[in-house]
Structure 1
Amino acid sequence: MDGSAAGTPAGGGDTVTTDVPARLDRLPWSRWHWMIVVGLGTVWILDGLEVTTVGNIAGRIAEDGSGLSVTAAQITGIAAALYVAGACSGALFFGWLTDRHGRKKLFMITLAVYLGATAMTALSFQPWWFFTFRFLTGFGIGGEYAAINSAIDELIPSRFRGRVDLIINGSYWLGAIGGSLLSIVMLNTNIFPKNVGWRLTFALGVVLGLVIMLVRRHVPESPRWQFIHGHGDEAEELVGSVEEEIEREKHRTLPPPKTKITIHQRAGIGFGIIARTVFTRYPRRAVLSLALFVGQAFLYNAITFGFGNILTTFFDVSTGKTGYYFAVIAAGNFLGPLLLGKLFDTVGRRIMISSTYLLSGLLLFGTAWLFDRGSLDATTMTACWCAVLFFASAGASSAYLTVSEIFPMETRAMAIAFFYAVGTAAGGISGPLVFADLTKSGVVGDTVTAFVIGASLMCAGGLVAAFLAVRAEGRSLEDIATPLSQAAPPDEPVSATTRA
């Protein structure tokens, strides 16, 4: 059965009745929420910077005199696949720790892993070293996805959750713009030698990560995680301080919360319970999650890693100029979630998720047809990709939103990690490897085949969403998927936390 029925909790902790979720959801937007967005959301800028940088500098690192004996195909193929494999592994490893030990501890640790691995990448002297630390960089980024998405959804009020989540995930493309423009400067041999510029590009990613870490220190633990895991007093104190801060900022008293929830506190959830919850209680939601992640993962990990090669192979764009084209594409990607995000909260999840996936897939089919006919040059190809990715970016961001809100609180980070890992492994590891072979052949038909595969998977994801997407707009997380620890339905008003 696919629904929100409460499970029988495994005992061990106190039974607590709390109104913390309702108090968080009824908060108006405030400076405190902006701090959450900046402290947590900026990680996607780092990921965009990483992926785009490698794609744009692949040609330069492969040139003689770069300091590394690798080919462009190895960078966009093997290194890209290892980065994604690391992200999948990191998501699963840190996702389990996030559900068990809290959001805050893990989103500090995962950022530290990313910073260390990126710094080591800049010092690469042999291919094995470069490949190893690309894997470890992905390992940190994958952990970020699980810890950050779960924390954001648990801290943002329900009526803003869709647009905020989409815009934060879409900020990946701000990093992509930065990576594209940065590569133009760093690959200019009149400014930096061949063996220095690409290293400085990675080093600047470390600097940005350190700035984010300073802001992130002030982001609190999720009160929803706290009251389930035996820290009810801390959750109550945190939410109370936030309410006082917002009342001072808005110069008005907040309305009383309308619902409460009673839960059995517990230390952690085993893998067996998580698996049974996701696949036995919510099988339709599991199919939806896999379809969305596989479609967007192949499209983005395959195409993004290889776009520079397409420009240089088929349109004779120099390696030092690809950044300009990619910056334009990245801007289109960011505008999608920015302009369409609000519609996910107003028009609704089902219509918007299915339509963005289907539109991007159909536009990609059209792009493949024009490319096959020889009707495109570098500029018009870029324009086509802007149109495709305007919708695809909003759809891809909604995949993370969907998985982070449709499964119970106790399994949230692990569910994000699992579906990200499986979907990304299917489309993100095989995608770069297949796409590198198709684009390096220099045969138009091979690249068209890659486009058609990506378009087909996006359309398939859109059709699945049309039938299975959950209407989660404006609903509390506890209403969308009842916590496994819930002991009684949240059906009567309450004004303060009480112990049963």
Structure 2
Amino acid sequence: MSSSGVQMKEVRSLVPARMDRLPWARFHWMIVVGLGFSWILDGLEVQIVAANGYAETLGMGSFEVGLAGTFYLLGQVTGALVFGRLADRLGRKRLFILSLLVYLAGSAIAGLAFAPWFFYIWRFVAGAGIGGEYAAINSAIDEIIPSKYRGRVDIAINGTYWGGAALGAVANIFFLNTDLLPQDLGWRLSFFLGPVLGILIIWLRRHIPESPRWQMTHGREDEAEKNVSEIEERIRKEGKTFDDVDESKAITVKEYGQVPFLVIAKVLFRRYPRRTLVGVTMMVTQSFLYNAIFFTYALVLENFYDTPPASAGQYFIIFAIGNLAGALILGHFFDTWGRRRMLFGTYVLAGLILLASAFLFQAGVLNAATHTAFWCASFFFASAGASAAYLTVSEIFPLELRSQVISYVFSVGQLVGAIAPALYGALIGDGTDRTPLFWGYVLGSAIMMVGGVVSGVFGVSAAGKSLEDIADPLSLVEGPKTAVTPDAGGTGSAKSGDR
């Protein structure tokens, strides 16, 4: 039955098996560019706003600038929750176009701000668009990319946030240079950089099909089969070949309809409690550490190492490149060495390196360059682990509520992580006493290592497996016998173990 109690037609489908056995092709690059660009926009947006070029024009002090960040964060949480629900109900494609349009409008109109209250409203709107992107895009990527590439692709895409942040830092050098542009004009133009790039991406997204997996479970099996056939034909035209699909991999599903909140709660806390623990822990721990360092790195450099504000921005470019490199280089191993091993390793190594830097910082043997080098080394691993948090939450829950679960866990992580900037700002103080910040770094490293231990012990073995083998769709009537059982035993991982 559907969630409304109406008997629905059952269909036998090979859509998941057909999608997962495809070779890498130009079509998949289109998915990477068209859907993955969201994270570049988010990084670009945050870094441009962090430069505070608008503060003097709008008469905003430190509190008002911080409040602008709060509105953006609240917008992200709201957008994730609203658009995540709609993406599961109405489809991925409608929402990954709508959410991008919301972001474009919010960012561009914020660039026209004439008063703080106007700025806050449109920062909230821009945040809502980006929050919606996180929910809808991760779902679409994981449902379209073949299973053997899913880990590295998802991690690389999430890691491109740092490419956008580096781009934003470089853009600020130009837009906020008063020798080149008037102060009141430069920051406004910078707010249009993301929307201009986003318009091009909207055109590309129009050519990306709806997720065939979503269509399969929403009474649109004919459309799903047609979409997969068109994708296969595009790949054949590139001269690539692939095997015929194994008929034994077919699954029988029925239209499920909208998922009630009570059903979602039962899935999260009764059927998959350990997976829920892993997802929330990973998201909270990485969000806390990132917000603690990302939003206070300039204060540390300026207060403890007498680094000029302009130079602090240059150090950030190096920091961002280190983060991007970690996601791009290490992502491959999440598909070959396995999720649990890599999650444990990246989280724990990031924490240990940060812990070592804390003791060296307390001893007074670091300078701005060497402290930044330690941050780069720590976040080389942390960025891959943090990106894998989104991958993990996306792939370990049933298809029909995938976007919503991402939105819930993302929101919890964002809200808890929002505590970190204020806490670490207070620990930094005026830069005369290193001890409070030392203990803050110890806390951050311990929190990150806890995330690694939890994901290593209770994580799910998902490398190379079909999404339907990791978690049965709610609409499943009959399928292969390789599906992962609800969390039972010690790990809640796949029957065959991690690779």
Give TM-score scaled by structure 2 length: 0.92
* CA spacing shift, 1:471–1:223, aligned 2, 3 Å: same
Shift of 1:245: 1.4
1:4 is matched with none
Shift of 1:29: 0.3
- Look up the SS of the partner of 1:321 in the other structure: helix
Contact in 2 for aligned 1:9/1:264 (Cα 8 Å): no
2:495 is matched with none
Specify which of 187, 199, 214 is matched with residue 203 of structure 2. 214
Specify which of 434, 458, 468 is matched with residue 478 of structure 1. 468
Shift of 1:272: 1.2
* Runs (5+) with no aligned partner, structure 2: 483-499
Aligned ranges for residues 356-435 of structure 1 at < 5 Å?
356-427=346-417, 429-435=418-424
1:118 and 2:101 are equivalent in the alignment: no
Distance in 2, Cα, partners of 1:222 & 1:365: 43
1:262 is matched with 252
- Look up the SS of the partner of 2:477 in the other structure: strand
Alignment root-mean-square deviation, CA: 1.9
1:3 is matched with none
| Residues 213-247 of structure 1 deviation map (CA, whole Å, 9 limit, x = unaligned) | 12111111000000110111110101011111112
| Residues 97-150 of structure 1 deviation map (CA, whole Å, 9 limit, x = unaligned) | 010000000011110111111112212222222222222221111110000000
Distance in 2, Cα, partners of 1:382 & 1:194: 30
1:87 and 2:82 are equivalent in the alignment: no
Shift of 1:466: 1.5
1:151 is matched with 140
Shift of 1:268: 1.6
1:351 is matched with 341
Letter in 1 for 2:279: S
1:136 and 2:125 are equivalent in the alignment: yes
Contact in 1 for aligned 2:3/2:258 (Cα 8 Å): no
| Residues 137-171 of structure 1 deviation map (CA, whole Å, 9 limit, x = unaligned) | 21111110000000000000000000000000001
Distance in 2, Cα, partners of 1:374 & 1:200: 41
Letter in 2 for 1:372: Q
Distance in 2, Cα, partners of 1:437 & 1:179: 27
* CA spacing shift, 1:320–1:261, aligned 2, 3 Å: same
- Look up the SS of the partner of 1:17 in the other structure: strand
Letter in 2 for 1:181: V
Distance in 1, Cα, partners of 2:187 & 2:378: 29
Identical-pair percentage: 49
Higher RCO by CA contacts (8 Å cutoff, separation 6 or greater)? 1
1:233 is matched with 222
Contact in 2 for aligned 1:294/1:457 (Cα 8 Å): no
Shift of 1:386: 0.5
Distance in 2, Cα, partners of 1:237 & 1:393: 37
Judge which range, 372-381 or 409-418, deviates more.
372-381
1:323 and 2:313 are equivalent in the alignment: yes
1:24 and 2:14 are equivalent in the alignment: no
Shift of 1:51: 1.6
Shift of 1:61: 4.2
- Look up the SS of the partner of 2:407 in the other structure: helix
Aligned ranges for residues 25-174 of structure 1 at < 5 Å?
25-55=20-50, 57-58=51-52, 60-62=53-55, 66-72=56-62, 74-75=64-65, 77-174=66-163
Distance in 2, Cα, partners of 1:192 & 1:438: 37
Contact in 2 for aligned 1:9/1:486 (Cα 8 Å): no
Contact in 2 for aligned 1:247/1:254 (Cα 8 Å): no
Specify which of 246, 254, 279 is matched with residue 269 of structure 2. 279
* Runs (5+) with no aligned partner, structure 1: 1-6, 493-500
Distance in 2, Cα, partners of 1:194 & 1:327: 23
1:247 is matched with 236
Distance in 2, Cα, partners of 1:399 & 1:127: 35
* CA spacing shift, 1:445–1:156, aligned 2, 3 Å: same
Letter in 1 for 2:21: R
Contact in 1 for aligned 2:42/2:161 (Cα 8 Å): yes
